[in-house]
Chains A and B, each alone.
Chain A
Amino acid sequence: MTEGRLSFDCTPGAAQRVADLVSRIAERASLTSQQQYWLRLAADEITTNIASHGYQGSAGTVVVDSAIERDRVWIRIEDSAPAFDPCRYRMQAQSACEPLGTREGGFGLMLALHNLDDFIYEYECGRNRNTLVMRRPAAPDTEGTGYRDG
């Protein structure tokens, strides 16, 4: 079941629109609060990265599609900035150990990719397409004995 399409400019208010979308999807898909948090964070970081580095602060549009499937939810974020595959970006390993004041960036992408169940990047017809996937929790035991453990 698709949840519709959003299209908006990469402005400071975009993060809240993304957060609202994730909140709606999470509730409908019965995601846990933790899953909602990390899905929102991933979408926030990807969108922010598009605005800051893709469009480099200039005007640019982001298109967001989303869907709830039987066993997963996905959010797809598209832009027309220069091609950028988040999976190819690796924050320098030593950065995490450097003193706070000397560290480089890249934390946003690390946070975005690390806590999703799946992430798919595609570049097609001049558009970056980032698909964020979270598996839905297992359905409750319908045999009348309550939720399964483990």
Chain B
Amino acid sequence: MSFDAKLNMEDGNAVIRLTGELDSGSAGELNTVITEAAGHQPGRLVLLMKELTYMSSAGLRCLVFAQQKMPDEAEIVLVAPTPDVTKTITMTGFDSSVTMEHDTPAPS
């Protein structure tokens, strides 16, 4: 499945919607978008991950890249990563350096 990363600036925050699969072949594309986002000096970098179906360690290195590029005080927020992607982030300890927001199921 192809990868796509779309950037929108919203109220001083950089919001990047990720779709598809993030691996060593597509990480460069995300880094390019992160660099563009950093140029806006955002207060937060928000990665919308609901439609990101796969992420290898290359994706983790994008998070490292993001923190290097963003202003020091900028917060990195990961929104609605899938369970498997969440596990990748937590088992490598990256959850200690980002904010993770999960969709909560609607009450039945």
Contacts and interface: CB of A to CB of B under 8 A. Distances in A.
A1 interface: no
Contacts of B107: none
A111 B97 contact: no
A56 to B, nearest CB: 15
Contact of A100 (B24, B64, B88, B91): B64
Interface string A1-41: 00000000000110110000000000000000010011011
A95 B96 CA distance: 12
Interface of A is mostly: helix
Given A96-B93, A99-B67, A101-B68, A16 B57 contact: no
A45 interface: yes
Contacts, number: 66
Nearest to B76: A100
Interface string B42-83: 000000000000101110110110111000000010000001
Interface string A85-102: 000000000011101110
Which of B25, B68, B98 lies at the interface centre, i.e. has the most chain A CB atoms within 10 A of its CB? B25
B97 A34 contact: no
Interface residues of A, number: 26
A48 to B, nearest CB: 5
A41 B22 CA distance: 11
A29 B57 CA distance: 26
Interface of A: 12-13, 15-16, 34, 37-38, 40-41, 44-45, 48, 95-97, 99-101, 103, 105, 107-108, 110-111, 114-115
25 contacts: A15-B23, A15-B56, A34-B83, A34-B84, A37-B84, A38-B84, A40-B54, A44-B56, A45-B56, A45-B57, A48-B56, A48-B57, A95-B93, A96-B94, A97-B93, A99-B97, A100-B64, A100-B97, A101-B68, A103-B64, A105-B57, A107-B92, A110-B92, A111-B88, A111-B91
